[in-house]
Every structure is written in C-alpha cells, then in structure tokens.
Structure 1
C-alpha cells in the first residue's frame, strides 16, 4: 500500500473552546464541497483547548469520518493565542489559515483561496468577510473597500491603506516559511492579534488580496469579547507594547510607518474605552488614563496623521489626559444618538472603529 505523503498547500488551524453548538458548522464549511484535487491540498488541525463541553468528543468522532481533520488535545486551557501556536506547531501545509471555531466560511471559499495561492504564491493573502448578527443580518466591514482593486502581489509601501484593514488573524492566509522566518507568534491574553497581524503586512514582500467574502464573522455570541465587560481589556496595552517593541527592533528607521501605527493604536483604544459592551463603567476612567499614558510614551517626535472631526477631537482629549471633557462629550453624543445601546457614535470614526471590532472577537475572550 502506497501512502500519500504529499505536502498540503493549505493548513487550517481551528482553536476549539466552548463551541459545541457551532463546531460542526465551522468544520463542514472548511471541508465540504472540495473536489479531489483541492481536498488533497487541505488539512485541518483542530486544537481542543481543554474545552469544558463536548467539543473533545465531537472532534474525535468527526476525525473518524473525515481523515483530513487532525486533533491536538491540550491538557489545560491556554487561551486562543497559545492554542493557535499549538496548532501552528502541528501543521504541515505550505500556507496556514487561522479560523475561529464559532465562525464559518461561505461555500467555495477554500477553493477560491487555493486558486489564488497557486496563482500568486503570496507571503500573505488578505480576505474579505461579513459580520453576521444573531438575527441573520449581514454587515460589510467599514474597512472592506480597502481591499478593492489590488491586482497580483504588492508591498505595503505600494498600498499603505492595507494597514488599516482589520488586524485579525482569520482574514489572512500566511505562507508558513515566511511566518517562521519572521519569528512572529501569538502571545497570551486578549487582543492577541495586534502583535501578530501588523508585522505580517509590514514585512511581507508579496501581499495578495482575494476580493471575495471568504469568512463569516459571528456577532453577539454570549461570552465573545465584544459582549464581555472585563478588566482583561487592559491586555491591549501589553499587546501594543509588544508591537512597538517589534517595530523598534525590526523597522527602527521607518518613522512614517511608526506614525501610522501610532494613530491606529490610539484610535483603536479610543473605541475600546467608549464601548459599554467591553469597558465596565467603573474602569473607564482608569483605562482612559492608561491610553493617555500610552499616547505620551509612543507619540512620534515628528507628529502623526491625526484624524479629523470627532475622532481628532478624541485624540486631542487623550493627548491632554482630559477625562472629564471626554466624558461630557461622550455623554452628549450618546444622548443625541438614536442608535442601539452599546454603539458609541463618538468613537465610531470610519474604518478605525470597524477594524477594532475584530480584536474583540477572540475565543480567548470567551474563557
């Protein structure tokens, strides 16, 4: 008997924790509908992160029926970032795609991804997505238009706007050798995508874009970070420290890039501090002051591209550490706004607000 030892083109890493109701939908969306050629080019590595429900049993049964699935079982819960690392250590494919186990892929997504990988051989392939709400409503991300009109492969210097695309792991398919050479891994804690996703785009020589909806990002699941008020949102500061440490070591001369990343950081942290679903009221003041300290620590000496309008006003209040003025302005806008509770119009400043919503959605935050 001859065993097929061909290296798959694509490895999909699926960290699993507390998603018993969504697990089959996620796995089926990856593996169903592939022809023989594409099926031979795909492996799925599911990481059971000591899930407290029946996910472990479901994975074992699924692997029995679908040999393309392998399971890594962790003896203790380590969180999303470290679970992704465990999966990354186990994969064999040329490319790796991190898919969260409570999300799923539209029909044909894997086939489309494989086709683009074969055609362009990028370091990073960026994908578009839709947010899917509990009532079935679908919503395009505000940063999705940035993915339009990219032909072939580019560098970030040619399309700097790509830095403003959601900084999640799941909207990127990454060449594994490039990832290994770069030495980027996931860190523990919430907002683990911050020091992972940005270096990929900054360092990549070849960035391709698949202008197609390839990912359904589930909104509003109980336990998701977007719906979890907690002091763990303070983890964002450590993650940004790691990102700026990487920038200092790997790209010390790129002052414009550092200025752009500074604006991204402050705009994202402004979104977090103003969101009732994430920031407990009793912690908002202290979080605001931490953002102000972060502003003073990392503000580029030559300035940065401060946004206009209300977003720019928020930046100025952060710069002056003016929490009372910020609180008054936030209250006034919330009083005048008629949108659903939890949405903060003061802090919704276009793609920034949308791109920051990606961080919230992490399995680690559901633990």
Structure 2
C-alpha cells in the first residue's frame, strides 16, 4: 500500500487461540488506509499458518518472521523499522480493537496536529468472558482538556503501556526511541521517551482497545523477570533525566519510580525477593551509605526514606529466614 495513514504493529508469539480475533479487528477497521505489520517472533504454535492465510486474503497485511526470538521489545522494534505510515500503533496479538479505533484516533490527531492520541480501554476477563471499561484514565493523569502536554499533565508518567496510543512516527525516528530487548517492563523507557519529546497529545475519551486478562498474559510473570525493573529504571534515567528541566515533571517521574518499585516488590515471588531487595539497595539514586542517608533521602525523594526503611526491614527478615533454613539443613545432616 502507498501512503498508509497508520501502521499497526502486531508482535506474535504463542497466541494462536486469540490471533484470529485480533487480526479480524484490524482488517475490518473503518479506516481502510492502514498498513498491518505482523511479526512472528518464532512462535512454536500454529500462528505462522494463520498469518499466511490472512496475508493471502488482505494485501495490506505483511507477515515478517524473526530469524531468532527477540522478545516483545525487539519484535516491536522490527515493526518500527519497517513502518511507512505517518503514525504507528502497537497491538498485542491476544488483544483486539474496536473497528472504529484507528479512524477516531487519526481524525483527532489530524484535527489537533497532535503527536500522540491516547484512548481508554476495556479489561476483558477471559474466564468470565466479560469486558469492563476502565473509566478513570483522564482522572488518573489529571487531564483537564482533551488536548494536553506533559508539562500540564505530568501524571502522564502513570501510564506506562505503549499500547492504547497512536504515535507520530517522526518523533520516534528523530529521537531514536526504541524498546529495550528481552527485558520485562519494556514499555516504560519507550513511553517515557516519547512523552519527553512530544509537543502535545490528544485524548480520545472512550474505550477502543480490549485488553485480555488471563493466566498466560506476559504481565503475570512474578519470578526472575521482575528483577528487570532495575535495568529498566537505569535505561530510562539515561534516556530522559538530562532532558527534564521542569521541577513538576522531574517530581512526577521520581514518584513513578517509587510506584514501580513498590508495585514490583508487592508482586515478586518469595523465591526472588531477597535478590530484588539486594538490587534495590544498590540502585543509583536510591543507594544510601553513612550518616547522611536519612535526611538526604527525605529531602531529595520525599517518600524514599520511608521506603528504604521498609526495604531494609523486609531484607533483614528475609535474609534471617534464609540463614535459619541453611543452618537447620546443616544441623539435620549431623
């Protein structure tokens, strides 16, 4: 297709049960001038056959197969590099769109000359076959109008997902914005880099995306992958900290880092909690040594001091439990 308006990027891995619903929602969009880039990340199931069938019946759909497994972030990067439209969007292959989604976003982007369209979504509960609209998006990021900037709405950092948005590709290309590869929480640095570099965005205040909730969702992993949080924070700091000049934006970003760590800490499996806490204690910007740590923490990061006390306590308890178990095992040998 020549001059598509939006490139829809769909990474595919192990989702043959849901893939047809996903693809049907895209090829039936009311905005027909779209490019559909479906990247098979070496899926071991029957996804490739399904993709070939769709490629044969719709010339807008192009199937790309990775030479090796790249993970979600790396596969999205492949899509970005191949996209030819003015705007791009990401869709996970177990989710789907309202058929008017791309048209409504495109019209808003063009009408307001915006760099990003942000829209609401449904949570679809697989076990109950029930879709629940998420209604609090605009309240969460304190958007007072449908047109907004990061400076006016710094709580935008609370929205980390790279889906449920349509982006101006020129911003991504000019600033070399990419996803980290093979890391959990890969959406965070991508989304935050875009927020920092965009001019203004537009809110499409209705749910247009169905986000499937089920046991196999990647976000259910609570083991070793949770440790990727610390690599993600370091990557994001390197990409955006020097560009943040506004105190409100810097404060909102710092608050979000606290939130990410607390959220991960509350979800991580007990088997990796000690490792998690050890890495937290060494994270740059959170690390505290000597007599000056407590007032410095409270002054620079407000809640960080209390967070550190909490982490130190949990770390001490978990380490003690671990040492006791080792000791008991040694005693039992004799």
Task: State the TM-score bracket (shorter-chain normalisation).
Answer: 0.7 to 0.9
Hey, what's the Cα distance between the residues in 1 that align with 2:316 and 2:121?
33
> What's the counterpart of residue 74 of structure 2?
82
Q: Secondary structure at the match of 1:209?
A: strand
Highest RCO, 1 vs 2 (Cα 8 Å, sep ≥ 6): 1
Q: TM-score, normalised by structure 1?
A: 0.76
Deviation, structure 1 residue 221: 3.5
Give the match for residue 291 of structure 1: 280
Alignment CA distance shift 1:137-1:78 (3 Å): same
Specify the SS of the correspondent of 1:303.
Answer: helix
Name the counterpart of 1:146.
Answer: 140
Q: Which residue of 2 aligns with 1:281?
A: 270
* 2:52–2:63 CA contact under 8 A, matched in 1: yes
Partner of 1:159: 153
Deviation at 1:18, TM superposition (A): 0.5
Conserved in 2, the CA contact under 8 Å of 1:168 and 1:194? yes
Partner of 2:293: none
How much has 1:258 moved relative to structure 2? 2.7
In the alignment, the residues of structure 2 paired with residue 231 and residue 326 of structure 1 have an alpha-carbon distance, to the nearest angstrom, of 20
* Rounded Cα–Cα distance in structure 1 between residues aligned with 2:102 and 2:297: 41
Alignment coverage as a number of residue pairs:
307
Match in the other structure for 1:211: 205
Alignment CA distance shift 1:320-1:280 (3 Å): closer
Q: Which residue does the alignment assign to 1:225? A: 218
Q: Which runs of 5+ in 2 are unaligned?
A: 289-295, 319-334
In structure 1, list runs of 5 or more residues that go unmatched: 307-311, 329-367
Write out aligned runs for 1:93-172 (5 A).
93-134=85-126, 135-141=128-134, 144=137, 145-146=139-140, 150-164=144-158, 166-172=159-165
CA spacing shift, 1:147–1:111, aligned 2, 3 Å: farther
User: Residue 10 of structure 1: which of 6, 9, 12 is its match?
Assistant: 6
Contact 2:109 2:115 in 1 (8 A): no
8 Å Cα contact 1:14-1:47 kept in structure 2: yes
When residues 283 and 82 of structure 1 are mapped into structure 2, their CA distance, relative to the original with a 3 A threshold, is: same
Give the Cα separation in 2 of the matches to 1:184 and 1:90.
14
1:149–1:249 CA distance, 2 compared to 1 (3 A)? closer
- For 1:23 and 1:305, how far apart are their aligned partners in 2? 45
Q: CA RMSD in A?
A: 2.6
